[in-house]
């Protein structure tokens, strides 16, 4: 068995790289391991390659490749390295898929328009890796606040430059974390985006919210609405402008972001604060869920009948269809929706890309405002999490879009 271990390890590495090139799981339960194995591989391929090569050198010196099985395992590793290089080149080459939709939808001069909204500061970082030291650069202890009454849930980090004036009236971005409506941790999600926005003079608010199964829908969206109400009332104390609040989020956070943007001031989701202003100036949902009631299609049955019925909504779709429809952004599209920038990965295992396409089509059919859609080839779910090229491109594109919206608002 010991002689076969190098061959087994090489086979596992090759399978992981192949899954990164094209996910093995496209439907049902296999999508979960396909995502968790392929996600870091597709965004951090150079690190995987470096580790694999270092291990190969060590085993070469140890003599592991002197046998027939050893030589086969080395060949498998060489194929793995080629696949990892392909994955990395795809990642690096994906920038046009972020930028071109902005130019096509907003116009060739969109960057010049967006620049009118940017302050005098220049970013100190181009690419970042999520870590607590990065967060501490922008979040002081006094910037950790409680926005609602639920202990352990309604907490927020306020990201801001330390030299931002308290009366700066900086535009504000609310970041809603993902996690299948059951995790919802504000740390360390969207660090590349928030660090870039903060460097550009924005104030970013990253929240926790009540999650399932301990809490039941619609507690999640109620907390997002409560955070918006808190921002409108209090963000001026931190240098933010309560008259310009945008919202973003990924995965479950993308769903909550889109739903919040499409249900401003909706008393159904604002119990006890029905009169609060929860409108937003723009929305950027990333690889989000937009349909909670369709059960046909890749992964749809498991999503609705297992996750939603048993853990989140805790009510049968058949008996409570309206709850599921009300929670679906695709049924809430409206002519007066704010500008939207929707991003999705073409190789998303957890939320297949057709769901994003359908939502974009529905938005463009109804909304009178701008709807930009970026579909990123070969990108897995959560492609913006790490400080990878796609993470950087996402932060850059979102900042340009929101700055464009802000500049357009200032012109009116």
**Total domain count, the chain:** 2
Same domain, 81 and 118: no
User: What residues contact 319, with CB distance under 8 A and at least 6 apart?
Assistant: none
CATH number at residue 144: 3.40.50.1820
Same domain, 22 and 129: no
The residues annotated as belonging to the active site are: 251, 348, 381
Low-confidence ranges of the chain (pLDDT < 70): 1-4, 118-129, 412
Separation of alpha carbons 367 and 339, rounded Å: 9
Residue 128, strand partner residues: none
**Phi, psi at residue 242, to the nearest 5°?**
-65, -10
Give the pLDDT of residue 1.
45
Q: How is the beta sheet containing 282-286 ordered, strand by strand?
A: 144-146, 155-159, 203-207, 170-176, 240-250, 282-286, 340-345, 371-376
Give the pLDDT of residue 4.
67
Give the pLDDT of residue 202.
95
Please spell the DSSP secondary structure of 42-70, one letter per residue: HH-HHHHHHHHHHHHHHHHHHTTTSSHHH
Q: Examine the fold and report which residue of 57, 92, 127 is the final residue of a domain before the chain moves on.
A: 92
Separation of alpha carbons 16 and 30, rounded Å: 14
Q: Examine the fold and report which residue of 39, 73, 92 is the final residue of a domain before the chain moves on.
A: 92
22: left (phi over 0), alpha (psi -120 to 50) or beta: beta
Residue-wise pLDDT for 8-67, tens only, equals 889 999 999 999 999 987 777 788 888 888 889 999 999 999 999 999 999 899 888 888
For residue 137, being part of any structural domain is answered with yes
Task: Determine the structural domain holding residue 26 and report its residue range.
Answer: 2-92
Going from the C-alpha of 246 to that of each of 171, 185, 223, 338, the distances in angstroms are: 8, 20, 16, 9
Give the pLDDT of residue 31.
86
Same domain, 99 and 110: yes
Same domain, 200 and 277: yes
Same domain, 132 and 239: yes
Please spell the DSSP secondary structure of 181-214, one letter per residue: TT----SSTTHHHHHHHHHTT-EEEEE----TTT
pTM for this model (two decimals): 0.94
Same domain, 375 and 390: yes
Same domain, 353 and 389: yes
- What secondary structure letter does DSSP report for 308? I
Separation of alpha carbons 16 and 201, rounded Å: 40
Give the pLDDT of residue 120.
58
């Amino acid at each position: 068995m010991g002689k076969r271990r190098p061959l087994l390890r090489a086979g596992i590495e090759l399978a992981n790289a192949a899954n990164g090139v094209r996910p093995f799981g496209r439907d049902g339960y296999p999508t979960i391991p396909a995502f968790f194995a392929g996600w870091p591989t597709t965004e951090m391929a150079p690190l995987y390659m470096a580790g694999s090569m270092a291990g190969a050198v060590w085993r070469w010196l140890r003599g592991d490749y002197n046998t027939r099985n050893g030589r086969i395992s080395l060949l498998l590793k060489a194929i793995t390295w080629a696949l990892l290089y392909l994955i990395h080149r795809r990642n690096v080459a994906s920038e046009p898929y972020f930028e071109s939709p902005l130019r096509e939808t907003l116009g060739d001069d969109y960057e010049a328009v967006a620049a009118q909204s940017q302050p005098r500061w220049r970013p100190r970082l181009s690419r970042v890796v999520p870590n607590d030291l990065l967060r501490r650069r922008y979040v002081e202890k006094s910037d950790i606040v409680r926005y609602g009454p639920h202990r352990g849930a309604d907490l927020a980090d306020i990201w801001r430059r330390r030299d931002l004036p308290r009366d700066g009236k900086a535009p504000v971005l609310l970041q809603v974390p993902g996690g299948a409506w059951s995790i919802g941790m504000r740390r360390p999600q969207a660090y590349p985006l928030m660090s870039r926005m903060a460097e550009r003079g924005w104030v970013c608010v990253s929240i926790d919210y009540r999650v399932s199964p301990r809490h039941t829908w619609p507690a999640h969206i109620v907390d997002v609405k409560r955070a918006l109400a808190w921002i409108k009332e209090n963000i001026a104390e931190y240098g933010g402008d309560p008259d310009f609040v945008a919202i973003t989020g990924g995965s479950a956070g993308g769903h909550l972001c889109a739903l919040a943007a499409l249900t401003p001031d909706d008393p159904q989701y604002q119990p006890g604060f029905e009169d609060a202003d929860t409108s937003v100036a723009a929305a950027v949902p990333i690889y989000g869920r937009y349909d909670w009631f369709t059960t046909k299609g890749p992964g749809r049955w498991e999503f609705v009948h297992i996750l939603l019925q048993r853990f989140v909504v805790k009510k049968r779709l058949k008996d409570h269809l309206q709850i599921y429809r009300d929670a679906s952004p695709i049924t809430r599209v409206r002519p007066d929706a704010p500008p939207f920038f929707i991003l999705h990965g073409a190789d998303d295992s957890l939320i297949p890309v057709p769901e994003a396409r359908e939502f974009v089509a529905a938005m463009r059919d109804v909304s009178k405002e701008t709807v930009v859609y970026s579909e990123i080839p070969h990108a897995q779910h959560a492609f913006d999490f790490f400080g990878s090229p796609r993470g950087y491109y996402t932060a850059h594109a979102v900042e340009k879009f929101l700055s464009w919206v802000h500049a357009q608002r200032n012109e009116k």
